[in-house]
A and B are shown apart, each in its own frame.
Chain A
Amino acid sequence: MEHSVAYVRTEDAPILKPPANLVGVRGWVMANLFPNWSNSILTVVAALFTYWVLSNVLGWAIFRATWTGESRDACIVEGAGACWPFVQAKFAQWIYGFYPIDQRWRVNVCFFVGAAALIPLLMPSLPYKKWNALFLLFAFPLLALILLTGGHFSFGFGAFISFVVQFLAIVAAFLPLTVFGIENGIKSAKPGLILVALGLVLRVLSYAFDIPLPAILDGVSTTYLIALLLMLAGGAWGLLQVLGAGPQASRPVLRAWLSGGVALLLVAILLKWDFGLEYVETSQWGGLLVTLVVAITGIVFSLPVGILLALGRRSNMPIVKYFSIGFIEIWRGVPLITVLFMASYMLPLFLPPGTNFDKLTRVLIGIALFSSAYMAEVVRGGLQAIPKGQIEAAQALGLPYWSTMNLIVLPQALRIVIPGIVNSFISLFKDTTLVTVVGLYDLMGIVIAGFADAKWASSQTAPTGYFTAALLFWVFCFGMSRYSQYVERRLNTGHKR
């Protein structure tokens, strides 16, 4: 009996471990690296190749490298690898260029404030985004400009006031457009706009030709006075129109107009103020400082200008459209190196003799315009991808043009082209090395300049310098790339593939 029921088990069979070749490290290796003959061969070849590359690079950069020393003597040992003492000796120069050593704290403050303002902006969970962005876009550049150059700019204050007044008058003449919309606005602003235009034409003519008019006030040219009166009249007309629309509509516009004027004056006072900082001319800047100044200026300018150009190129207004097309095609049709040469050697020939504005400034303007043209085409790619139905739906809801763009088209279009935008940023960051051709020492330029130092000349000096420069560039570019992927993941909820 006992035997007849033996097949009925009274307890569970012991749980056996799975076969050793299916689990654990061995299982993973068998499944992924050696599943069959061909893959096994590939694995071995790849492993050998990796070993070869790593052993060479690490052997050169770490195991055989020279780590300490005071001069080239340490690095000319037979069979020695990288010459790191060279990097130690020159590193401060690579960061600050030839910025006076006792003034380097100013650069440090800029780096620190910039990083402290940028990092919270990049973290979506932190509050006060608007104020943070405003600080970074307006206050920080001003701070950096004053700290890095020393401030205390010598421009005539009277000339600046006259500039601000004219600028405010011109803006005031356009104000009705913001209150009444474009079509009605143009109708009501027309007399003011005509007056302002006449004033502007007179100003431009007075630069080109000597207009003989009897002097009314001592020391002030009569043409200038007439032009100023015309512009003021135009501005006043615009303001009257706005006031006529009632306090509800006019108050926010007037407030913005006034605070703009006050901000301009404040900027002028700050730029002219003597903070007691030693003047450091831009020819002494160099290294990472110049690379960052050029790259960040290019990046910050190119995005908004590029968006405007992209919208302009798709506009129905012929002047705006053909201006945008012309601008984009001209700047995109010229190599960056030509732009730089034009900015630093040709431009001074066209300007009136005696005007000598800074070489770095000229290069910054050149790069900003150049990269804007590229950015415009990237953004236009995104705009093309938005179906027309989206715009038509917005129009059906009665949204005006700018609201349609701001609320519906651009948020979608920009999200699509994040990889393209960051691509442009990264290539711009690396293109900054081209500024060496016009005699500015960016990071790459200053690394190469260090090779001329006889104190450090050896067969390993140049490879070590290039290796370190490559690492520094890689850190920045890889950082940008990773952040863009994070933004993509965060925004790309609908059409992720």
Chain B
Amino acid sequence: MKKLILSLLAAVLFAASAHATTLEDVKARGKLLCGVNPGLPGFADKGDDGAWVGFDVDFCRAVAAAVLGDAAQVDYVALTAQDRFEKLASGAVDVLARNTTWTMERETKFPLRFAGVNYMDGQGFLVARALGVNSVFTMSQAAICFLTGTTTEANVADFFRERQMVFTPVNFDSVNKVVAAYEAGQCDSYTADQSQLYAIRLKLKAPDDHIILPDVISKEPLGPMVRQGDEQWFNIVRWTLFALVNAEELDVKAASVEDLKASSKIPAVRRLLGLEGTFGVDLGLDADWAARAIRATGNYAEIFERNLGKDSPLGIERGINALWSAGGLLYVPPVR
């Protein structure tokens, strides 16, 4: 009996070792395969020269820099909302960085898992500045535009009912119709996920006359995904994300990485940049992994502001995506 168990164990071990890990695959290929959205303003789209840019794209670049040492060694695979999980599960991509909401179902129904949260989205409200509204709590009796057939509808109905407020739904089955109705003044407010509202605002006739209220009525934590069963790769993706956020906390920027590496006395910075400890090697990479990622894309704040925040046309506020120490919800474990 003992013999049988041992031989079974050996067979399992052999099978596991015969199968290359994701890290080995990526290194052998020399390219990271990254699943992204085919076109979502600020998150992933192609610039005038055809190169991919965006918040999710920069995350792919950071992982490539950490693993392969070159942020340009990424093959982007544009995935639709329908086929993204299947493509990740089947190995068509190594990482899925495609504004995917972390839900329980997606970790229990698919053989996939989320490596963390890189953007906390949520349903918000777009209103005309001239209306003088500054909170959704004062919007009882309002006419609200939204897209039918999405969770948006249920969220807004629940929110108003819970607070015993009433609203008039004005709904359509395509985004263009909703925008047209909002522009025509058929409703006081337009509700959708905040990141979408910022993109839609750009397309209005006078974008600056409209604001997005700070209130958020639903949880949409977006994050990168990997396959289950490869803990090493999961750790690499997760800790690349954590390293970028830690870098913001420690004020390590793309431009200051080299100087800090040479001169920093702060223990947390020295650990992050691989001057102390064996964190990178334990991860399966090398000591310089986080420094490479930060050098390639900047820290979380730099990535955010460049693609979504004040340096981009979208102008999204940090809001709940600010660091915990700055009044937001962004809180990651330390490199220690």
Residues of A within 8 A of B (CB): 71-72, 76, 78, 89-90, 93, 98, 101, 439, 449, 451-455, 457-459, 461-462
Contacts and interface: CB of A to CB of B under 8 A. Distances in A.
Contacts of A90: 48
A461 B203 contact: yes
B203 A459 contact: yes
Contact of A455 (B38, B40, B47, B78): B47
A453 B38 CA distance: 11
Nearest to A286: B50
A90 B39 CA distance: 15
B313 A454 contact: yes
5 contacts: A71-B313, A72-B202, A93-B46, A101-B49, A452-B45
Interface residues of B, number: 23
B39 A454 contact: no
B59 to A, nearest CB: 17
Contact of A457 (B38, B47, B205, B313): B313
A76 B199 CA distance: 14
3 closest A-B pairs by CB:
A452-B39, A457-B202, A454-B41
Given A453-B41, A454-B199, A454-B312, A459 B205 contact: yes
A453 B47 contact: yes
A449 B314 CA distance: 17
A89 B48 contact: yes
Nearest to B39: A452
A264 to B, nearest CB: 35
Interface of B: 38-42, 45-50, 78, 80, 199, 202-207, 312-314
Contacts of A439: 38, 78, 80
Given A71-B313, A439-B78, A449-B38, A455 B48 contact: yes
A458 B314 CA distance: 11
Given A449-B46, A454-B199, A78 B206 contact: yes
B173 to A, nearest CB: 18
A459 B38 CA distance: 21
Contacts of A459: 203-205
A457 B48 contact: no
B57 to A, nearest CB: 13
B184 to A, nearest CB: 13
Contacts, number: 57
Contacts of B207: 76, 458
B101 to A, nearest CB: 19
A101 B41 CA distance: 23
Contact of B41 (A78, A93, A98, A452): A452
Given A452-B39, A455-B48, 17 more contacts: A72-B313, A76-B207, A93-B48, A101-B49, A101-B50, A439-B80, A452-B40, A452-B45, A453-B48, A454-B41, A454-B42, A454-B202, A454-B312, A454-B313, A457-B41, A459-B203, A462-B203
Contacts of A461: 203
Nearest to A76: B207
Contacts of B42: 454
A459 B183 CA distance: 11
Contacts of A452: 39-41, 45
Contacts of A72: 202, 313
A294 to B, nearest CB: 19
Interface-central residue, A76, A93, A451, A457, by most chain B CB under 10 Å: A457
Nearest to B54: A454
A253 to B, nearest CB: 51
Nearest to B207: A76
A245 to B, nearest CB: 58
A451 B175 CA distance: 14
Nearest to B204: A459
A351 to B, nearest CB: 16
Contact of B203 (A89, A93, A455, A458): A458
Nearest to A284: B50
Nearest to B52: A98
Nearest to B48: A89
A71 B39 CA distance: 18
Given A72-B313, A93-B50, A101-B50, A453 B203 contact: no
A74 B247 CA distance: 36
Interface-central residue, A93, A98, A449, A459, by most chain B CB under 10 Å: A459
Nearest to B40: A452
A457 B312 CA distance: 11
B134 to A, nearest CB: 24
B138 to A, nearest CB: 28
Nearest to B45: A452
Nearest to B80: A439
B199 A457 contact: yes
Given A454-B313, A458-B202, A459-B203, A449 B47 contact: no
A449 B48 CA distance: 11
B35 to A, nearest CB: 13
A122 to B, nearest CB: 33
Contacts of A101: 49-50
A427 to B, nearest CB: 25
B203 A449 contact: no
Contacts of B41: 452-454, 457
B199 A449 contact: no
Contacts of A451: 39
Contact of B45 (A78, A454, A458): A454
A454 B206 CA distance: 15
A98 B202 contact: no
A453 B50 contact: no
Contacts of A78: 206
A458 B205 CA distance: 7
Contacts of A453: 39, 41, 45-48
Nearest to A455: B313
A90 B49 CA distance: 8
Contacts of A462: 203
Nearest to B314: A454
A76 B209 CA distance: 12
B82 to A, nearest CB: 10
A452 B47 CA distance: 10
Contacts of B205: 459
Contacts of B203: 457-459, 461-462
Nearest to A86: B48
Interface-central residue, A93, A452, A458, by most chain B CB under 10 Å: A452
Contacts of B45: 449, 452-454
A461 B205 CA distance: 11
Contacts of B312: 454
Contacts of A449: 38-39, 45-46
